[in-house]
Amino acid sequence: MATTTTAPAVPAPAPAAFATPAPSAYTSASLYVGDLNDDVTEANLFEIFNTVGAVASIRVCRDAITRRSLGYAYVNFHAAGDADRALDQLNNAPIKGKPCRIMWSQRDPASRKSGKGNIFIKNLDKSIDHKTLFDTFSQFGQILSCKIELDDRNESKGYGYIQYALQDQAEKAIAKVNNMMLAGKKVFVGPFVSHKERLAANSTKQFTNVYVKNLSEAVDEARLKTLFAAYGSLKNVIIMRDDKGTSKGFGFVNFENPDEAEKAVEDLNNTDLDGKPVFVGRAQKKSEREAELRQKFEVMKMEHMSKYQGVNLYIKNLDDDVNDDKLRSMFDPFGIITSAKIMTDNKGNSKGFGFVCFTTPEEATKAVTEMNGKIVGHKPVYVALAQRKDVRKAQLEAQFAQRTKMMPRVPGMPGAPMAYNGAPMFYPPQVVYPPQMVPPRGRYPPAPYGQPVPNYVIVGGAQGGRGGVKNGGRGGMPGGRGGRGGRQPQGQPQIPTMMSPVPVAAAPVVDPNAESLSAEERKNIMGERLYFLISKPQPALAGKITGMILDSSTVEELYQLIEEPASLEEKIEEALKVLEEHSKQQQ
């Protein structure tokens, strides 16, 4: 009987020469830092790496649209020796509770994707961490990267990866450690195989276990055995049953020979058994089935996207009486329409928007040019290329991030922009609210950026006080430091304080449909009305939400949001989700 060789749980550490590559080989002094949390910023990394040596630059790689961290960064030092020391001291060090993985930056993508020197280790004990794995395998050669896969609680999943500088070092580690005992468990060590290669291998490998489904309850093991015995010798036949012994409609047949199993699958798949077409195929693990379904879904998704890219139009702000036929007739002059659909609610009532699909992008482009903003019935319709929800959300996030970056907020005043010292203030044309829209005096919430102010002015405190005009009104807010600025000398006429509403002469009501107004002026007016509607359900965030909607909407879209509460509510929910995610990233 062959004896089993047992390797020590933690072999002696390798010489320093094998621990990391020589700095002279990486004169760029650039390090790759991976396995980072999403909230790790350049400032966090600078605080950590600058303690080792002078850092030249740091870049956290982010998504081009959403600006979310991709989980890795590049740290550039002025000196290669500092980079080498940082790799030695900080590799696997926790950054915000998660161990980081540091290696020399490899600019050549071919060397990164070649897979040479990569090995895969599984069946690891939970007690083995990154450092233990590194110490165990460093005796076989120069390790470029060492990683143990972790779950959400930062606990080992029982497998990991190691990349050596040379292929023969990886082969030596496989030969010495495969099937050895580490921390009381026999580990598997082999060449790293990519996910794509594993799927291809699984689809072509031989099998003996056959999966049979869509069986009627009358089919038992004896009948299934009789059916498959004609193709070869069987090891086992079983039908899966519930607690009451009733068949679940599927089972397994295990052959002695893989060729016989393959022949049975070819002949019996989709054949009729008791009036039902049965499925017969290779038995797969759950992970294989899920991977196969994901791959099929991605293929279908890409085919669907390519098929309708540039030809599917989104039309909204439609009258309630517009149905599918009327929508088709509206767009018939522009080309051949494959489908025209008005979206309806549970009661069959129109939601005010729909989709029209053309056969060519040229026809769709012509329809957008001719129909967008055109009055149909009583409304100007909005026509644009249809976008997926995730694309719209990503654009909204990018617009909000840019707007937040360009306009810092005043603490304690949500939605109000900060006025820079010396910058001129912009006062847009004044609008008079209808009587039902006038808010209570002295309680008007801050207006969004670039929108008209209500029909009263705000006056500063008395001269000489810290809240006075000479000091920029600092502290003039109720409860602020300069509250004393509102005191009035005895015998002087009373001057209104900071938040006292003073009526001004009423300006004529501006009609947003007036032909004399520009598109920007109409948008300002519609934004003021929109702000009033949003301030009811979201008084604290009305300014931010209004600004986000104004940045991403046309005048026609604003018309629809004001006239259709359901559309506005959906837009508010979308903006709130973006704000919530942005708040989490800031925290």
- Give the chain's end-to-end CA distance (angstroms, integer): 61
Which tokens belong to 392? Answer: 């719209």
Quick one: which of 166, 139, 116 has its CA closest to 19? Answer: 139
Strand 143-150 versus strand 156-164 pairing type: antiparallel
What is this structure's pTM?
0.39
| CA-angle at 378, arms to 319 and 323, nearest 5° | 25
Q: How far is CA 83 from the centre of its chain?
A: 32
Contacts of 386 (CB under 8 A, 6+ apart): 308, 312, 313, 314, 355
Task: For the chain, list the domains and their CATH numbers.
Answer: 17-200 (3.30.70.330), 206-286 (3.30.70.330), 311-386 (3.30.70.330), 393-418+426-454+504-587 (1.10.1900.10)
Token digits of residue 225: 């055995």
Q: 184-190 contacts: CB < 8 A, separation 24 or more?
A: 184/9, 184/125, 185/123, 185/124, 185/125, 186/123, 187/121, 187/122, 187/123, 187/124, 188/120, 188/121, 188/122, 188/123, 189/119, 189/120, 189/121, 190/119, 190/120
C-alpha–C-alpha distance, residues 224 and 256, integer Å: 16
- Per-residue pLDDT in tens (0 to 9) along the chain, 587 residues: 443 444 444 444 333 333 344 444 445 789 999 889 888 999 899 999 999 989 989 999 988 777 888 889 999 999 989 998 998 889 888 898 888 889 888 766 666 666 678 888 998 888 888 888 888 888 898 888 888 888 878 788 888 888 888 888 888 999 988 888 888 888 889 888 876 676 666 555 678 899 999 998 888 898 898 899 989 889 889 999 988 888 999 999 999 888 889 889 999 998 888 888 999 988 888 777 777 788 777 777 766 666 667 788 999 889 888 999 999 999 999 999 988 999 998 888 888 899 999 988 889 889 999 998 888 888 888 998 887 776 777 777 676 666 655 554 444 444 444 433 333 333 334 444 444 444 444 444 444 444 444 433 333 333 444 444 334 444 444 444 444 444 444 444 444 443 434 343 333 444 555 556 666 777 777 788 888 888 888 888 888 888 888 877 777 777 778 877 878 888 888 888 888 877 777 66
